Amino acid sequence: MLMQQIYWRPNCVIVQKPSLRGIGSNNHRCFQVGLSRALFVNQKKQKKFKNEYNKIKAMVVSEESKERKQVKATVTVKPAGEGVLSKLGLQRGLDKISELMGKTILLELVSSELDPKTKLEKKRIKGYVHLTNRSAEEVKYESEFEVPANFGEIGAVLVENEHRTEMFMREIVLDGFLTGPVKFSCESWVHSKFDNPTKRVFFSNKSYLPCETPEGLKLLREGELISLRGNGQGERQTFERVYDYDVYNDLGDPDTDPKHKRPVLGGTEHPYPRRCRTGRPRCNTDPLSEKRSNNVYVPRDECFSGVKQLVFSENTLQSVFNPLLSGLRASVIDKNIGFPLFSSIDELFNEGFNLPPQKEKGFLRTVLLRLVRLVSDATILRFETPATVDKDRFFWFRDEEFGRQTIAGLNPCCIQLVTEWPLKSKLDPNIYGPAESAITTEIIEQQIGGFLTVEEAIKQKKLFILDYYDFFLPLVEEVRKLEGTTLYGSRTLFFLTHDGAIRPLAIELARPPMNGKPQWRQVFTPSWHSTEVWLWRLAKTHVLAHDGGFHQLVSHWLRTHCSTEPYIIATNRQLSAMHPIYRLLLPHFRYTLEINALAREKLINVDGIIESSFTPKQHSLLVSSIAYDQHWQFDLQALPNDLIHRGIAVKDPNAPHGLKLAIEDYPYANDGLVLWDAIKSWVTDYVNHYYNTDSRNVESDKELQAWWEEIRNVGHGDKKDEPWWPNLKTNEDLIEIVTTIVWITSGHHAAMNFGQYTYAGYFPNRPAIARTSMPTEDPSDQELELFYNKPEVTLLKCFPSQIQALTVMTVLDILSTHSPDEEYLGQTIEPAWEEEPMVKAAFEKFKGKLTELEGIVDQRNADKNLRNRNGAGILPYELLKPTSEPGVTGKGVPYSISI
C-alpha cells in the first residue's frame, strides 16, 4: 500500500504533481474536474494555484520505493510543419497552450509479462513527456518514470498525442535499465486524440514470432492487426491507418463525361491485382465506378517524407504539371502538330521551348530546376541533354544500338530465344489471318549472309525475338478508332553475332482483317537501298513504340508498382509490426502506396499522361490487364526463373549463379544475377536465424501463413487458382518468396525506372507513340509522294506530337530523379536488424556484397571485350549499380518503389 505525503496550501489540497513523473497508475491530470487526488477548495484562486503548483515536487513514500528504478523516456519528433496534414493558426496556438499546461504526449509503458496473481496485464505506467529541445532537425520530449523492479521487460509503449495536430514520431528511448536502453523505432505519424481517441501502440525493436510473443503483449499484437484491417466500411480519413482491398474502379470520371468511363480492372472480365481501398462514394452515372477527388487516401504511414514530398507529390503534380501542361497547350495551338525538323527536336536541349509566363515561378524553380529556366518575364522549358545523346548524337539511328538496348536498355526483360520454326501465331486464323509468320527462312538466311542456316542458328541459340504479335494484334481495330494513333502486331528477329552483339534481322508488322479489308502484313529488313532503309526506320519506330508501351504498362507499372501493392496491404494486415518478416520487408514497401495513388490521379487516369501520350491511348490500362491475365506469374518474377522461361538461360551448377546464359554479354542479366544472389544470401541468413528449430518453423507460423494466403486469394485473387503459386511450408519456400518480392521492389524496379530519361528523354530513340501507319499500308497518292520526296517528314509525322513529346519528357525527368533522401539498398541498417547480433552481421555481409557489385559493374563497363557495355559512344550499363547521387543519374537501386 503506497503512503502519500500531502502538501497543504491555503484554500487547496494537493496530493502529487503528475506531469513531471509517471508514477504507476497514480499519475493524474490535476486540472481535470472530478479527480479524487486533486482538490480545488477555492475555485477563484486557480490562477495562483497553477503558478504555485508547478513549483511543487510530488513525493511518494513507500516500502517498495527502494525497489523502483528511475527510467528516462526520450521521444524524438520531426518538427511540425512538414506533414501534409499539419495545421496552422488557432490549432497550433492551442497546442502551445497545451504544452505550457503540461499536456503534450502521454506515454503508457506496457510490461511484457502478465501479473502472476491475476494472469492479466500489469497496470501500465503512465506519464507525460515534455518539450526539452527544439531544432530545425528534430524536437525532443523527455520525462522520468518510476518503474517497479518486478514490472518486467517493457515491450510496448502506448502513445496519446494531446496536440490538435498530428506529429511524426521518430523514436522512443527508455534509458535506465541494467541491460541498456530499450528502443522503439517509430517512424510513424501519430494522429491527434481529437481526430481519433484510440492510442497508438509501438513495440520495441526486438522481433518475435507469433508463438514467442510475450504473454503481456499478445492482446496488443492481435488488437493492432485488427485495427489495421478496419471493417471495410465508410470513406477512409486522411489520418487513418487502415489497409483494405479494392478493385481499380477509380481511373475513369463518367460523371464529367460519358466518354470518360473506364472499365473496372479486377474481376473475371478484366483480371488485375487489388489496390488499397479508399471508400470514396460511387459515381452518379456509373455505380461501378468510384468518384474521383484531389486527395486520395493512403494509410498515413505510407505517405512521403518532407523531402520526397517536394520532389514528387500531389502538390508537385498539381502545382507544376498542371501549369506546365497548361502552358504547353497554350503555346502549341494545334495539339496534333509535330516537329517540323530534327533540328527542332535538338533545340529542346539547346535553346529550349518558350512557355507563357508562369505564376508559380518560385515553385517551378525549386522543383524543376533541371528543366525550367526563368529569364526575365519569359519561361523557358529547356531539357538537360540525356547521357545517351551526350555520348553519341546519332546513337538512336544505329541498328546495333537498337539491338543492344533489348538487353542493356530500358526494357531488357522481353527478348526471348527462338526455339521453333517457322514462327506461328496462336490466335484464331479465321479472325486474325494466317498463323504462320511472313518472316521466311529465305529472308533470315539472306540476312545472316549464308553464315548459318536457320536450323543451325536455332540449334546454336543464335536467334532471338521481340514478340508483340499476338499481344497487340487483337487490339489493333479498337486502337485505330482513336484519333492520332495507330497500332500493329509486331515481331522483330535478332541474331547473336560471334562477338556477342545483338543484330536486328527483320521486322514483321501486321494488321488483322478489318473494315472490309483483308489482313495486311509486311516484312521489313535492313537494306542498302534508300526506300527500304527509310521503311526499315519507320518499322523500327513502330516496334519501339510497342516496346515503350509494353515497358511502361507491363514491365514497369504492372510488374513492380501494381503487383506489389497487394503485398504491402497483406503485410500490414496479417504480419504484426514485431514480426521479423514484417521488419525485413518494411523498407522495401516505403512510399509505394503513395506513388501508386498519385499515379492513379495523374498518370494512368482518364486523359492522364499515359492515355494522352502512349500508343494504346485510353486502352492503355486494359493492355496491362491483358498482360496480367495472360503472362503474369509470381514465380516468374524471380530473375533466374524469368531468364529460364524466356530461354535466355539454363540451369548449370558449374556456371556462375547456377545459370548458363545464351547471351553471355547480357548486362541486365549479368549484373542482375549478382544482385539477386546478394539479396538471396541476405534473406537466407535472416530467415534461418528466426526459423531454426522444430517449434520455430514456417509452417506453424499462423501470421505468416495468413499473409501468404491473403496475397494469393485476395490481393491477387483473380489468379488464386493458378498452379504455379509456390507453397509456403519450408525455409526454402519463404526465402524464395521474400527474395522475389525484394528483387521486384529494388533491382527490377530500378532497372525499369531510373533509365527512363536517359533512354527515352530523346524521344526518337523510344517514341511513346506512333501516330501514323506505314506508308505502304493502303497508301494515298499524297502520302506516297510525301514519303518519296521527304521521307524524313514522314518519320517526323509518325513521332509524337510536340505536346506529347514535351509532356512525356517532363514526366520521365521527374520519374528518373533520385531524391536527396533516397534510401539505397543495403546502405543503412534498420533499427530492428541492429538489435540482433546475428542479423546485424548478416546485414554487414550483404552490404559488403553490394559494395563488391559496385566494383564489378565498373570493371565490366571498362572491359573492351564486352561490346554491349563498352565502345565508342556506348553508354555504360549502370542501372543496377547500388548507390547514386541525387538527381537523374541512370544508376542507383533504392530499397523500394518510391517513385
Q: Looking at the annotation, which residues are catalytic?
A: 556, 561, 749, 753, 899
Helices (H), 192-305: 218-229
Beta pairing class for 139-148 and 21-23: parallel
CA distance 771 to 485: 4
Q: What does each C-alpha distance from 712 to 199, 298, 728 come to in angstroms?
A: 32, 22, 11
Residue by residue, what is the 3-state secondary structure of 568-628?
A: HHHHHHHCCCCCHHHHHHHHHCCCHHHHHHHHHHHCCCCCCHHHHHCCCHHHHHHHHHHHH
Which DSSP symbol is given to 424? B
Instruction: Please give the helix or strand (H or E) that residue 100 lies within, else none.
Output: helix 90-100
Residue 250's nearest CA partner among 196, 209, 295 is: 295
Whether the bond between 271 and the residue before it is cis, its omega within 30 degrees of 0, is: no
Q: Do residues 236 and 278 make contact, with C-beta atoms less than 8 angstroms apart?
A: yes
CA distance 847 to 824: 11
CA distance 148 to 69: 6
**Residues sharing a CB contact under 8 Å with residue 260, sequence separation 6 or more, in sequence order:** 252, 253, 254, 606, 607
Write the DSSP string, 703-762: HHHHHHHHIIIIITGGGTT-TTPPP--SHHHHHHHHHHHHHIIIIIHHHHHTTHHHHHSS
The residue length of the chain stands at 899
Q: Do residues 561 and 599 make contact, with C-beta atoms less than 8 angstroms apart?
A: yes
Helices (H), 453-562: 454-459, 469-472, 476-479, 530-550
CA distance 23 to 123: 11
CA distance 413 to 23: 62
CA distance 684 to 736: 9
CB atoms within 10 A of CB 899: 23
CA distance 657 to 673: 7
Q: What angle do CA 255, 259, 281 make, to 5 degrees?
A: 25
Residue 638's nearest CA partner among 596, 601, 702, 683 is: 683
Q: What does each C-alpha distance from 694 to 211, 237, 689, 730, 731 come to in angstroms?
A: 12, 44, 13, 11, 12
Instruction: Please give the helix or strand (H or E) that residue 347 lies within, else none.
Output: helix 342-350
Residue 305's nearest CA partner among 178, 437, 397, 168 is: 168
